[in-house]
Amino acid sequence: MAIDYLRLSLTDRCNLNCIYCTPLEKSGYLAHGDLLRHEELARAAAAFVRAGVKKIRLTGGEPLLKKNILELVRMLKAIPGLQELALTTNGVLLKDLAVPLREAGMNRVNISLNTLIPATYKQITGSGSLEDAWDGLMASLRAGFSEVKLNFVVMKRINDAEIPEFARLSMDFPLSVRFIEFFPTNERSKNLKHALFTTAETRKRIEDAYGPLQQVPSGPTDGPARVFKRPGAKGKIGFISGRSDYFCGACTRVRMDCTGKVYPCLFSPSTHTLRDHLRAGADEETLVELIKKIFLVKSKYNKDSASSGHIEMSSMGG
């Protein structure tokens, strides 16, 4: 499949410490000099677009912690041929940034929110404020993005009791609520193995509460999600089944972390790094050729190719 989607991690820094994501023993953050600067990110992104990428999603870490994020959004938005710029954020800083981000050219926003109970929020994130995240979600709904999605990582006995309430949000608000199967990535999240809750179980909870769900055709922004809508609902419900359903065949994405390492697949090692080329002043043609080579090796990897079984979502970008 043609690669048309780049997930770009801007920073390994995060203002939350989520149990399913942040490593248990985080031994400090990367040095500033290791992170790509705006100009380097924009040059790399422009080369990805020339190599065929049409959509870029900013992630992290927490991407809104990247200094002068609005300036970076404007730089990326100006890349000729880029059709869509999207963001995945925990929403804590969105209340004040939603409108400026929209004005800077951000098209779509995904917000990670896994509970509406303050004590559970503390349990999952370790810090931060549920009120801020909620205000951020509401601010993005008002800001005029083409789509707002809510990402809910389902964890048994932690937040599964809230599944019907989150499904309800898709009825009351023009929101795509996406139930994501938790999958163990690093040592910390492997301790949460007991928390696995399949899409089939989640769907049953929703149907027990509200009746049968009707599947609707997936749209161009739905990625690997299977999408459903309740009659009269303002929004949609999606399921992302990274564990129980195998969607590698339909994957058109690559990832670049905040230091310029490129990962053809979530389960592959980084095969190339662009940082040295960027810092040595490589021209766009050279970068495009390098990126095309990376695209060619993508088909070698899939979910079974995780060599160490260890993925740090917090630095490579979930």
Using the minimum distance from each CB to ligand SAM, give the nearer residue, 50 or 243. Answer: 243
The count of chain residues that interact with ligand SAM, using the rule CB under 6 A, is 20
Q: Give Cα separations from 119 to 91, 127, 128, 131 (angstroms).
A: 18, 11, 11, 12
CB of 14 to ligand SAM, least distance (A): 6
CB of 288 to ligand SAM, least distance (A): 27
Ranked by CB distance to ligand SAM, the top (closest) residue is 318
CB of 49 to ligand SAM, least distance (A): 22
182 binds ligand SAM (CB under 6 A): yes
Using the minimum distance from each CB to ligand SAM, give the nearer residue, 59 or 107. Answer: 59
Task: Pick out residues in 10-29 that bind ligand SAM (CB under 6 A).
Answer: 14, 20-21
Using the minimum distance from each CB to ligand SAM, give the nearer residue, 62 or 84. Answer: 62
Using the minimum distance from each CB to ligand SAM, give the nearer residue, 88 or 268. Answer: 88
140 binds ligand SAM (CB under 6 A): no
199 binds ligand SAM (CB under 6 A): no
Using the minimum distance from each CB to ligand SAM, give the nearer residue, 104 or 313. Answer: 313
Using the minimum distance from each CB to ligand SAM, give the nearer residue, 59 or 159. Answer: 59
Using the minimum distance from each CB to ligand SAM, give the nearer residue, 89 or 176. Answer: 89
Site string for ligand SAM, 99-138 (x = CB under 6 A): -------------x--------------------------
Residues at the contact surface with ligand SAM, assessed by CB under 6 A: 14, 20-21, 59-60, 62, 88-90, 112, 151, 153, 180, 182-183, 185, 189, 313-314, 318
